[in-house]
Amino acid sequence: MGQFKKVVLAYSGGVDTSVCIPYLKKEYGVEQVIALAADLGQGEELEPIRRKAIDAGASESLIADLVTPFIEEFAFPAIRANGLYEGRYPLSTALARPLIAQRLVEVAKDLGADAVAHGCTGKGNDQVRFDVAIAALAPEMHVLTPAREWGMSREETISYGERFGVPAPVSKKSPYSIDLNLLGRSVEAGCLEDPRISPPEEVYAITTSIDDAPNKPIEIEIAFESGNPISIDGILLNPVDLIKKANLLAGNHGFGRIDIIENRVVGIKSREIYETPGLLLLILAHQELESLTLSAEVLRTKSQLERQWSELVYQGLWFSPLKEAIDAFINQTQNNVNGSVKIRLYKGNATVVGRHSPDDSLYLPSMATYGDDDKFDHRSAEGFIYIWGLPSRIWSAVRNKQKK
């Protein structure tokens, strides 16, 4: 103890990370705790959070503006990868962690800190993502994890905090555990812990209920360049504004709610509610454009790698050799993913109703048509099928002989 003088702490403003500040000082003998809060477009006011860390005893309190790199370097690659953990969760929380870890390490090195710290508990995925990302970026860096070690209940944590300048959470706090950023919200705990219970409407904040969604459908068109979304309805948008616009459109029509049982890295099944309207919409459109512009074999191979990519990202292996190698494959495929997709939004549904790629479509009308313009050579199918079916014919003949 007392071996760490200066520590940079990933700070969220919640009770656990706030209590980490006095705890690191008293129990670990840290002299200076520097709090680092990340702006990931969660829309919260960050100045009160910054001050809260100072009140809890931080010697410095910093805010890192990570919105643009979050979308450009993490969300867009996830769209190109059609990243869906277990086929359903678009990784909105998981994608933020390696970026926070990266900035944490940079700040620690800049300020000459001896260690970094985070307030994750020992039950979740986020501790894994932080620890492994930090290990990959700075193998020599020490990571202090007070909340994983202190063994205090929620009540004990709160009263420990109250003794050292961390106010107890105001009034009757929401029973839910919520994680929030520009890609969406994740909600757990409270009544959601009973997987039989339908989520009460109050758990949702950025998607409209089906009842309240507009009674008239809308059709929107999303355009992509090299697999990255670039415009909605013909209006070019920078990546951050594009995600915001997609969130508003899809969220307003009640699209993007997910209610799942998810398999955590630490072996626990947990019930999660997500709202990720824009990200899900963009993945849907992107998948559709790929179905028009990528060959059947590339699509099949890519979909296997997508599953693996999503598991790696979920499991904290954003910075890893396999993830890098899969990214190289994905990037190679995306050169041809240019064009646009038309989607109808209506009462909780997003339905693809059209797709178009002027230069990269592999859909050939002269091959697909049943009309007069058909250029497909029907008779050549015979020879193809003879050879295609040859193994079946041989197998059957041999089996019939054996039966006799």
The yes or no reply on residue 188 touching ligand ARG (CB under 6 A) is yes
Minimum CB–partner distance for residue 185 and ligand ARG (Å): 8
# of chain residues touching ligand ARG (CB under 6 A):
10
374 catalytically annotated: no
- CA dist 343 and 358 (Å) reads 18
The yes or no reply on residue 290 touching ligand ARG (CB under 6 A) is no
One DSSP character per residue, 28-50 reads H--SEEEEEEEESS----HHHHH
97 catalytically annotated: yes
Spatial contact of 95 and 70, defined as CB atoms under 8 Å apart: yes
97, 103, 185, 257: the active-site residue: 97
- Quick one: which of 215, 234, 261, 237 has its CA closest to 342? 234
The yes or no reply on residue 179 touching ligand ARG (CB under 6 A) is yes
Q: With respect to ligand ARG, which residue has the nearer C-beta, 223 or 273?
A: 273
- At a CB cut-off of 8 Å and minimum separation 6, what does 350 contact? 250, 253, 255, 280, 281, 284, 343, 344
16 catalytically annotated: yes
Spatial contact of 82 and 192, defined as CB atoms under 8 Å apart: no
Both tokens of residue 93? 């929380």
Label residue 169 exposed, middle or buried (CB < 10 Å: 0-12, 13-18, 19+): middle
Stretch that binds ligand ARG, among 174-182, 193-201, 329-337, 359-367 (CB under 6 A): 174-182
Among 184, 227, 253, 272, binds ligand ARG (CB under 6 A): 272
The yes or no reply on residue 288 touching ligand ARG (CB under 6 A) is no
Minimum CB–partner distance for residue 184 and ligand ARG (Å): 10
The yes or no reply on residue 18 touching ligand ARG (CB under 6 A) is no
Stretch that binds ligand ARG, among 41-49, 54-62, 98-106, 172-180 (CB under 6 A): 172-180
Minimum CB–partner distance for residue 179 and ligand ARG (Å): 4
Minimum CB–partner distance for residue 18 and ligand ARG (Å): 15
The yes or no reply on residue 177 touching ligand ARG (CB under 6 A) is yes
Q: Find the helix packing angle between 277-293 and 296-314, rounded to 10°.
A: 150
Both tokens of residue 383? 């020879």
80, 92, 126, 185: the active-site residue: 126
How many other CB atoms are there within 10 angstroms of residue 293's CB atom? 25
Which three-class secondary structure state does DSSP give residue 238?
Answer: coil
51, 65, 154, 177: the active-site residue: 177
257 catalytically annotated: no
Query: H-helix or E-strand containing 199?
Result: none
- At a CB cut-off of 8 Å and minimum separation 6, what does 190 contact? 174, 175, 176
Minimum CB–partner distance for residue 15 and ligand ARG (Å): 12
Q: With respect to ligand ARG, which residue has the nearer C-beta, 32 or 270?
A: 270
**Range 70-99, binding ligand ARG (CB under 6 A):** 93-94
Query: H-helix or E-strand containing 350?
Result: strand 349-356
Contact mark string toward ligand ARG, 105..144, x via CB under 6 A: --------------------x-------------------
Minimum CB–partner distance for residue 118 and ligand ARG (Å): 13
- Quick one: which of 28, 15, 13, 52 has its CA closest to 116? 28
Note the residues at the interface with ligand ARG (CB under 6 A): 93-94, 125, 177-179, 186, 188, 262, 272
Which residues carry out catalysis? 16, 97, 126, 177
